[in-house]
Amino acid sequence: MSGIKQVFLFLLGALFLHQSIQAQGRTANWIFGDGYHIKYTDGVPEVMPFVESFRANEAATCISDTGGTLLFFSNSSQLWNRNFQPLWNSDTLSSVGGTKTNGTIILPWPGDEHDTYFIHFYIDGSDSKLYYNKVNINLDGGLGGVVPEQKQVLVWDHPVCEQLSAVRHANGRDWWVISRKGLWESTHFDLLLLTPAGIVQMHPQFSGYRGGFGGEMTISRYGSLLAIATTDDLCFPNPPTIALYDFDRCTGEIQLRDTLLIRECHNNSYGLAFSASGSKLYYSLSNRFQLYQIETSHDVLVDSLILKLAGPSFSLMYTAQLELAVNGQIVLGVVRLSPTSGTDGFADHLIVIREPELEGIACYVDTFGIYLNGRENSSYSLPNFANYDLGPIVGSPCDTLSPQDTTLTSLHHPPIETLSWSINPSIGSGSFTVTGGPSSWLVVHDLYGREVLRLCHEGSTPFDLMAQPAGVYLVYLRAADGTQTLPRKIVRQ
């Protein structure tokens, strides 16, 4: 790597680190594993009292408000409020929970300026299908609760693997939510778009290879890279693999760049995290005490070993999940499988990669990074977060929230009159169909200019406005380059 490029990546990472620490609220609290609670204040982690009622073998997620105050958290089978009590109406979510790698995540509801509504996605432990709960933080006297009519809502009518991630759409408001289709193995990604009007399901995308069911999925902080670690307990026909993808926040397209086969078949790839700039990718093994680094700028993925602890003392001590912290450091879990195995006093720490932007062992792996106050770890869990502070892609040709300035650069894209599309009926009780026109987004605005619906359109697309009040609405077809048709008026009776 050239010296100029190294300086650029360093400055990029430093800039992002400064911005992250200034806006660290959403991910300030980490509740995971055997009831561990860590809170980051000004980038410094503080170990809080244990949450005795909480256990998460793998799946865990939390969310705080923008000021860093805990709102609620989950291990996928249960939700807890900020007082560490069960969240109202969150019982019986799943009979089995916490055993899916990245099996749960919490997102703010798009466009909610009052921070009232959140959506909790989780993979059910019994049928391995993806569900969601909508949470209203004003219920139960301000402690929050699950909205009764939006509890345990099925998303996909098929099982998914153990990975679940989310990243902001290029407009800086909506969310792409990504999982992998399949139970024991997968060849496709499931993709949905969460908008203020609800969920838009997209067509599955080919992942480029057949991979096992376990391991983490992670997205870089800027949202342009996606990686998965796939494992298979039987190893064949799906050997453990790391896969790196380019991700388009505008269209949701996931494009495979390269895959890396793990050297030994039963050394399952598991934990995964990007450095803040995205220039480095780190992965751990679920059944060996080993940690590797990958340079993401290379067309062909090559890993380098940066930590290995072997021998009888570490034969039953494994590395676990990885997570990028708000201070730009990467945290790695340690698993001690039994009180008589491994080394005393080692698994009551979290490993911290202090300088993850640096190459090789210069990244400084601190094996005693965060002391967990004497409680040893027996879980693979760290919290699953999205980058809540990721904004729009300024200058992108992607459609954004503005119906005129679609690139946020003050460049006006005049509407294009296209006569080859129609809407039927023009006046109806809620159900409409767009026929013809270019392949594009189908976008509906109310008369105040607010977007109320967005769907992918190709050929013929039915949609409904049953959830919207009666009135006049404007329908546009918008292409990926920012151009749009003149609006067609419809009346919702």
Task: Annotate 318-346 with DSSP letters as a single string.
Answer: EEEEEEE-TTS-EEEEEEE-STTSS-TTT
Phi/psi at 141 (5° precision): 65, 30
Residue 78 has pLDDT above 80, yes or no: yes
The rounded distance, in Å, linking the Cα atoms of 179 and 246 is 16
399 within a domain of the structure (yes/no): no
Q: Residue 448 has what pLDDT?
A: 65
Sheet with 36-41: list strands edge to edge. Answer: 29-32, 36-41, 44-47
Are 180 and 306 members of one domain? yes
pLDDT in tens, 151-175: 999 999 999 999 999 999 988 889 9
Are 223 and 337 members of one domain? yes
DSSP-derived letter for residue 15 is H
Residue 431 has pLDDT above 50, yes or no: yes
Q: What is the average pLDDT across 421-448?
A: 88
Task: Answer with the residue of higher pLDDT: 142 or 454.
Answer: 142
316 within a domain of the structure (yes/no): yes
Q: What is the average pLDDT across 126-146?
A: 96
Environment class of residue 126 by beta-carbon count within 10 Å: exposed (0-12), middle (13-18) or buried (19+)?
Answer: exposed
385 within a domain of the structure (yes/no): no
Residue 320 has pLDDT above 70, yes or no: yes
Using the CB atoms, write b or e for 332-352: b if 16+ within 10 Å: bbbbbeeeeebeeebbbbbbb
CB atoms within 10 A of CB 480: 17
Residue 130 has pLDDT above 90, yes or no: yes
Residue pair 479/471 in contact (Cβ under 8 Å)? The answer is no
Q: What is the average pLDDT across 187-208?
A: 92
411 within a domain of the structure (yes/no): no
Residue 44 structure tokens: 């410094």
Residue 433 has pLDDT above 60, yes or no: yes
pLDDT-derived band at 299, boundaries 50, 70, 90: confident
Per the prediction, the chain carries an average pLDDT of 86
The rounded distance, in Å, linking the Cα atoms of 207 and 186 is 8
Using the CB atoms, write b or e for 171-182: b if 16+ within 10 Å: bbbbbbbbbbbb
Q: What is the average pLDDT across 273-286?
A: 96
142 within a domain of the structure (yes/no): yes
Phi/psi at 145 (5° precision): -170, 165
Are 367 and 471 members of one domain? no
Residue 312 has pLDDT above 80, yes or no: no
Domain of 448, in residue numbers: 421-492
Q: Residue 68 has what pLDDT?
A: 95
The rounded distance, in Å, linking the Cα atoms of 255 and 265 is 26
Residue pair 46/372 in contact (Cβ under 8 Å)? The answer is no
The type of residue at 251 is T
The rounded distance, in Å, linking the Cα atoms of 138 and 145 is 8
The mean-pLDDT minimum among 15-24, 77-86, 181-190, 245-254 falls in 15-24
Q: What is the average pLDDT across 438-449?
A: 80
Residue pair 31/323 in contact (Cβ under 8 Å)? The answer is no
Domain count across the chain: 2
Are 218 and 73 members of one domain? yes
Residue pair 343/309 in contact (Cβ under 8 Å)? The answer is no
DSSP-derived letter for residue 354 is S
Distant-in-sequence, close-in-space partners of 3: CB < 8 Å, separation ≥ 6: none
The mean-pLDDT minimum among 94-98, 229-233, 444-448, 478-482 falls in 94-98
Q: What is the average pLDDT across 185-210?
A: 92
Using alpha carbons only, give the angle 472, 476, 480 rounded to the nearest 5 degrees. 155
Task: Answer with the residue of higher pLDDT: 425 or 234.
Answer: 425
Residue 20 structure tokens: 């992250």
pLDDT in tens, 199-257: 988 889 999 999 989 899 999 999 999 999 998 766 667 788 999 999 999 889 999 99
405 within a domain of the structure (yes/no): no
Phi/psi at 362 (5° precision): -65, -15
397 within a domain of the structure (yes/no): no
The rounded distance, in Å, linking the Cα atoms of 341 and 313 is 7
Q: What is the DSSP string of 359-401?
A: -GGGG-EEEEEEE-TTPPP----------TT----TT-SS--S
Convert 454-480 into a string of H (helix), E (strand) and C (coil).
EEEECCEEEEECCCCCCEEEEEEEECC
CATH value at residue 433: 2.60.40.1930
Are 309 and 166 members of one domain? yes
Q: What is the average pLDDT across 258-270?
A: 82
Q: Residue 233 has what pLDDT?
A: 64
Are 425 and 331 members of one domain? no
- Say whether 19 sits in a helix, a strand or coil: helix
Are 479 and 344 members of one domain? no
pLDDT-derived band at 309, boundaries 50, 70, 90: confident
Residue 14 has pLDDT above 60, yes or no: no
Are 36 and 132 members of one domain? yes
168 within a domain of the structure (yes/no): yes
Are 76 and 200 members of one domain? yes
Q: Which residue has the tokens 């040893």?
A: 376
CATH value at residue 121: 2.130.10.10
Are 367 and 431 members of one domain? no
Q: Residue 338 has what pLDDT?
A: 75
Q: Residue 8 has what pLDDT?
A: 42
Residue 483 has pLDDT above 90, yes or no: no
Residue 158 structure tokens: 């098929």
The rounded distance, in Å, linking the Cα atoms of 335 and 319 is 6
Residue pair 135/145 in contact (Cβ under 8 Å)? The answer is yes
Are 133 and 191 members of one domain? yes
pTM of the model: 0.78
Are 433 and 350 members of one domain? no
Residue 53 structure tokens: 């009622």
- Measured between alpha carbons, how far is residue 401 from residues 110, 172, 210, 392, 468 in Å? 12, 9, 37, 10, 19
Listed residue (175, 192, 180) closest to 106, CA to CA: 175
Q: What is the average pLDDT across 328-336?
A: 94
The mean-pLDDT minimum among 111-115, 395-399, 422-426 falls in 395-399
Q: Residue 288 has what pLDDT?
A: 83
Q: Residue 438 has what pLDDT?
A: 80
pLDDT-derived band at 344, boundaries 50, 70, 90: confident
Q: What is the average pLDDT across 371-381?
A: 91
